[in-house]
Chain A
Amino acid sequence: MPLEPFTQSTPLTFGVELELQLVSLSDFDLTAASPDLLHLLARKPFPGNVTPEITESMIEINSSVQSTYPALLAELQEIRDTLVAAGDQLNIGIAGGGTHPFQHWSEQKIFPKARFEHLSSLYGYLAKQFTVFGQHVHIGCGDGDNAMYLLHALSRYIPHFIALSSSSPFVQGHDSHFDSARLNSVFAFPMSGRAPFMLSWAEFESAYFAKMERTGIVKSMKDFYWDLRPKPEYGTIELRVCDTPLTVERAAALAAYLQALCSYLLERFDEPPVEDDYLVYNYNRFQACRFGLEGAITHPKTYETVSLREDILATLNKMEPYAAALGSLDGLKHLALAAAHGSDATLLRQQYEQQGSVEGMVHAAINWFRGERRFRRR
């Protein structure tokens, strides 16, 4: 089946997907609760959308297509409140965070759906080990060529999103010493990584996708697990490197940052992206995963090494006029504070030190996700 044509979309409209953890409140381990939760949520209209994920201890929510940050934030908060209320009725804790700190992949149940069954039999334990939780942001590009341009122009900023969203320091009960250990699981998949360097949609369609399809390895865009991937059916590109943050407020702010960046990049002030930009890509990505905001990245054009935190703060500053025009200054302020004070990964490590256990850390994550609602229970 050839690739569908790139749908026309309104540039800079955006939407957010969040994969969330379903946690047992008796031992704070992941629990296979998604069928029951989905059953209860189906009784009332749901703001946005909620769907099962590959294992039964995860659930995915997505917002509607929004054009402004305040509207996106309000919708994500409404989704959060609906989920938390349903979780309370079923004794299920709901939490953000890119990994569950002590779940064992061998104990996960695959959600009974044909596609998930297929993935599970193809990838074996990788599928269960893929019980990791990411935030995906979709952004409208207008047309396919814009999409390809943004896809490569954004590559320089990928470490920003990894560091700002990082919330997966612990894996299988231990500190991995990565701020985002989640991306290491994603890298195990053969079709992960980055998109091939092409700046025109027609070329991507005929010279790359059609060939790949002939190899028989892929059938649709869904089979690519790239950090940034075009979604022709929505007319968007999708950023897939973020860990699910601990709060929906951080998730909305990250989307606002991407929107402002795209608004800036589409003006094409910057030097256009070239294949050689990718020489530093994997190493910068590693720095962001491993050290988070403390990492150091190499500029793809000048090869100058800069502190990731400084680079983020400088970019946030530079984006202010664009954010002002889009009505998302508050979102950028939120991120500037996070960049200065530390990411969710830092917060989680602090909790671990205070509580002295991984269970205590999950308990704190559940309360953070609840937001204002956490005061309704001890």
Chain B
Amino acid sequence: MLDLLPILTSLAWPFAIAIAWIAGEFGQRWTGLPRISFYGLVGFALGSPQLGILPLPDIGPVSMLADVAFGLILFELGYRINLHWLRTNPWIGVSGLAESLATFIAVYFIAGAFGSAQMTALMLASLSMATSPATVVRVINEQRSSGQVTERVLHLTAQNCVLAVFAFNVIVAFWIFRTFEDLGDAIWNSLVLLAMSILTGAVFGLAVPALLRGLRNPRQDATAAFALAVILLVALSYAGGLSPVVSTLAFGLVARHRRVAFSQAQRGFGALGELLTVLLFVFAASTLDWQKVAAGSLLAAVLVLARLVTKTAGVMAFSHLAGISWRKGALAGVALAPLSVFVILLLEHARLAGVHVVEELRSVAAVTMLLEVFGPIIIQRALVWAHEIPEPRPEASHAP
């Protein structure tokens, strides 16, 4: 009987991924909601603090696979970003800065009002600036949406990620030094880390397309080459203490802008991406503890709402200048709601790196749980209301 335990433990992950996939397929069919919401629910339910089917997260193959899954998504996001556009239409970047800053300020004060320590409030504020690329890219791909809301959400998500990584690193460094004299150093360190991450990603972005061209077969599907490169880059980033978020984003961005021969990578990395996405969302939700979620739920609800308001107002304020209607501006702001996977992975790595302030961020667990389930639904609704998702229409079987 005792021999059964290790066997059951080794079955836990494959079992969880299979359950989540089935729940996603049926859930999507019955409710029309995005599959990833169901992956998150299954992951949370099976997590160690809840049903206890899944082991506690640690540095193991699953956590590494989750990082790779996230890396693939960030690469794809980078590959869809057009820097020329941000130059031609600067109001998009401006609206992104405005909504991020407004979110930072609002969350900082709300957390303070709820009695959080200054450092905790600052961390919460910096994390809240982000938008989770995992949810955004998955929902956009799953729904095959296209239009200005879709385009702007992708571009603003990339910008928000870089801003959040920068601010979070500044605050972590500041927390380590504990004095205001060292704030300059903290900012400098964070900037150097960003620059090094961008540089590493950019080297990959130049080298991989060059290699593909060297193979003289640009008509061949380049999915495998890009996927391998992302895996390598993620591993290198962790080994070198760089930000894998920024490096994989930069890789995608440079690969897109430096291509001379166009190589077609499958959208979402095909079946590989599909599979790793299930794992990523199950893993992320399995790290949450229901007690912490319950403890921080009131603050979390207020934060989620405040963030919705600031992001919507920030994007909407510049929407006319940026060339879209107020309505689409508002919907693009609403669609920036997803947050969870990005925050969970960032905190998980901070925790493993010995930044123990993470334990104080109880309300983060509740915020991420809320958005793990509702983030995909919110962005899906925003895209539906923007009429950017193709609606299946019954074709007449005879002439009307």
Contact = CB atoms under 8 A, between A and B. Distances in A.
Contacts of B387: 35, 112
B144 A107 contact: yes
The 6 closest A-B pairs by CB, nearest first: A359-B262, A26-B80, A121-B396, A91-B85, A356-B218, A36-B148
A357 B395 contact: no
A338 B104 CA distance: 59
A378 B84 contact: yes
Provide the main secondary structure of the chain B interface.
Answer: loop
A360 B213 CA distance: 14
Contacts of B84: 377-378
A122 B267 contact: no
Contacts of A378: 84
Interface residues of A, number: 36
Interface in A342-378: 355-357, 359-360, 363, 377-378
Interface string A116-159: 01101110110000000000000000000000000000000000
Interface of B: 79-82, 84-85, 88-89, 144, 146-148, 151, 218-219, 256, 261-264, 267, 322-325, 328, 387-388, 390-391, 393, 395-396, 399-400
Contacts of B146: 24, 31-33
B147 A33 contact: yes
Contacts of B395: 120-121, 124-125
Contacts of A27: 80, 267
Residue among B79, B89, B151, B324 with max Cβ neighbours from chain A (10 Å):
B151
Interface string A20-47: 0000111110011101100110000000
A355 B262 contact: yes
B381 to A, nearest CB: 18
Residue among B88, B89, B393 with max Cβ neighbours from chain A (10 Å):
B88
B262 A91 contact: no
Given A26-B80, A33-B147, 20 more contacts: A25-B82, A26-B79, A27-B267, A28-B262, A33-B148, A35-B387, A36-B328, A39-B324, A39-B325, A89-B323, A90-B89, A91-B89, A91-B151, A110-B393, A112-B387, A121-B396, A355-B262, A357-B264, A377-B84, A377-B88
B82 A26 contact: yes
Nearest to A357: B262
Contacts of A31: 146-147
27 contacts: A25-B82, A26-B256, A27-B267, A31-B146, A31-B147, A32-B147, A32-B390, A33-B146, A33-B148, A35-B387, A36-B324, A36-B328, A86-B323, A89-B88, A89-B322, A90-B148, A90-B324, A91-B151, A107-B144, A110-B393, A120-B395, A121-B393, A124-B395, A125-B395, A355-B218, A357-B218, A378-B84
Given A26-B80, A36-B328, A122-B396, A357 B261 contact: yes
A32 B82 contact: no
Contacts of B267: 27
A31 B324 CA distance: 16
A363 B263 CA distance: 13
Nearest to A362: B262
A88 interface: yes
Nearest to B88: A88
Nearest to A361: B262
A364 B36 CA distance: 38
A125 B393 CA distance: 12
Contact of A121 (B262, B322, B400): B400
Contacts of A89: 88-89, 322-323
A72 to B, nearest CB: 29
B400 A118 contact: yes
A356 B219 contact: yes
A109 interface: yes
B325 A360 contact: no
B400 A91 contact: no
Given A122-B396, A124-B395, A357 B390 contact: no
Contacts of A357: 218-219, 261-264
A294 B395 CA distance: 41
Contact of B264 (A24, A32, A124, A359): A359
Contacts of A360: 261-262
A203 B290 CA distance: 83
A124 B146 CA distance: 22
Nearest to A109: B390
A89 B151 CA distance: 12
A110 B85 CA distance: 27
Residue among A24, A90, A110 with max Cβ neighbours from chain B (10 Å):
A90
Nearest to A22: B146
B322 to A, nearest CB: 8
Contacts of B388: 32
Nearest to B217: A356
B158 to A, nearest CB: 12
Contacts of B261: 355-357, 360
B205 to A, nearest CB: 15
Nearest to A117: B393
A331 B399 CA distance: 44
A112 B388 CA distance: 12
A112 B386 CA distance: 13
A121 B395 CA distance: 5
A121 B148 CA distance: 27
Interface in A270-284: none
Contacts of A88: 85, 88-89
Contacts of A377: 84, 88
B82 A107 contact: no
A360 B85 CA distance: 19
A327 to B, nearest CB: 37
Nearest to A377: B84
A257 to B, nearest CB: 35
Nearest to A354: B261
Interface in A53-96: 86, 88-91
Nearest to A360: B262
A134 B183 CA distance: 62
Contacts of A35: 147, 387
